[in-house]
Amino acid sequence: MNSTKHLIEIALKEDIGPGDITTENLIGPELEGEGVIIAKEPMVIAGLEVAKQVFEYFDSQVVFTAKYQDGDVVKSAKTIAKVEGKLRLLLMCERTALNFLQRLSGIATNVRSYMNEVENTGVRLVDTRKTAPGWRKLEKYAVRVGGAHNHRMGLYDGVLIKDNHIAAYGGIKKAIDRIKDKISHLVQIEIEVSDLDQVEEALVAGADVIMLDNMNVQQIKKAVAVIDGKATIEVSGGITKSSLRSLADTDVDIISVGAFTHSARCVDISMRITPKNNPG
């Protein structure tokens, strides 16, 4: 999995390439400056440490001072952070630092708006694997900052038997029996089902978690009654903000929301840079 440092390195090399021909021809290497990072709209901030690491990538002596912590709600026009260092550095790293900050804060802000819809219901909202390639660790971090929880990180840290697995292996019971024979008794088995017949089959086979995929509210209520506490119940597929409350009221345990990450927009954040001495 890509580390944050590796992602920062990729992003900076992608943007700067062999050199910033504008900055390097206008700004002397000895000049100092200050950058003020400003929220242009209300948001839940996330990614401050990543933004700091972007500037520190070229100069560990840069001074990054955050005015908030990840998870804080920031109002429009508020200063999020200040950064002081070489003027060239600030200009070259500005866009990359903002890209990380805008994307991660956008996810956290999006997630928080979903969490507000299910406040005091007891249901757990979780994310999915629908993340930007290479960004999963950071995007799932932003989900947690927004107040929700993570589902599995990848294919390696949780068993989830999906419809294509069932079709490929020849049925729910056969698939569950095979998995039980191969994994530790400490690992839970989750299986995706699409109708009540499959719910009953999954129960009989001993699934620990049953994912109700793309079922409507009435189907979910019937499934909850059938399962009757014998397995953890997750609902998934086509989840919208407007449908959350009615789903939570069915007494399911978990709702997984792909839109946390795949439909989050970047929030608007800018950086105002000023020299501390005359660049001319």
Fold observed for domain 4-114+265-275? Aldehyde Oxidoreductase; domain 3 (3.90.1170)
Numbered ranges of CATH 3.20.20.70 in the chain: 149-256
Helices (H), 74-160: 87-117, 136-146
Tokens 């070489």, residue?
A: 86
**Hey, which residues are catalytic here?**
95, 130, 162, 192, 213
Structure tokens that stand for 83 in this block: 């950064």
What's this model's pTM, rounded to 2 decimal places?
0.96
The CATH architecture to which 149-256 belongs is: Alpha-Beta Barrel (3.20)
Task: For residue 201, give every residue at least 6 positions away whose Cβ sits within 8 Å of its Cβ, in sequence order, or none.
Answer: 171, 172, 173, 193
- The confidence score (pLDDT) of residue 276 equals 87
- The confidence score (pLDDT) of residue 82 equals 98
Instruction: Average pLDDT across each block of 10 residues of the chain; the chain has 280 residues. List them in order.
Output: 87 97 96 98 98 97 98 98 98 98 98 97 97 97 98 96 96 96 96 97 98 97 98 96 96 98 98 82
Numbered ranges of CATH 3.90.1170.20 in the chain: 4-114+265-275
- The confidence score (pLDDT) of residue 277 equals 74
First to last CA, the chain: 45
- The confidence score (pLDDT) of residue 280 equals 54
